[in-house]
C-alpha cells in the first residue's frame, strides 16, 4: 500500500493537470454579463472555438483553454 501511495505522490508532482475548457457563466453569480459576451466575442475573433450552452446556467459559454484569456 505504501508503494502505491509513493507512486501516486511521485506522479502527481511531475505531471501537472490543466483545464481543457473554460466555462463562462451567465447566471446570478455573474454580475456583468457584457464581460462574458466580450470574452466570447474576443475568442471567436481569434479563431478559438466556443459554444453557447443555451440551457445550462442561464446560457453560459464554453471555450477552449487559452493562456491569453
Interatomic CA distance for residues 39 and 22, integer angstroms: 11
CA distance 24 to 64: 11
Q: Which three cell numbers stand for residue 68?
A: 491569453
Average pLDDT rounded to a whole number, residues 16-21: 73
Stronger pLDDT, 9 or 25, i.e. the higher one: 25
Q: What is the tens place of the pLDDT at every residue in 22-54? A: 888 887 777 777 888 888 899 999 888 899 998
Domain boundaries defined on the chain: 18-69
Amino acid at each position: 500500500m505504501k508503494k502505491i501511495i509513493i507512486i501516486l505522490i511521485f506522479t502527481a508532482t511531475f505531471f501537472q493537470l490543466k483545464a481543457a475548457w473554460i466555462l463562462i457563466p451567465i447566471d446570478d453569480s455573474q454580475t456583468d454579463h457584457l464581460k462574458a459576451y466580450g470574452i466570447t466575442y474576443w475568442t471567436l475573433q481569434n479563431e478559438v472555438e466556443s459554444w453557447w450552452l443555451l440551457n445550462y446556467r442561464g446560457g453560459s459559454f464554453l471555450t477552449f483553454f487559452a493562456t491569453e484569456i
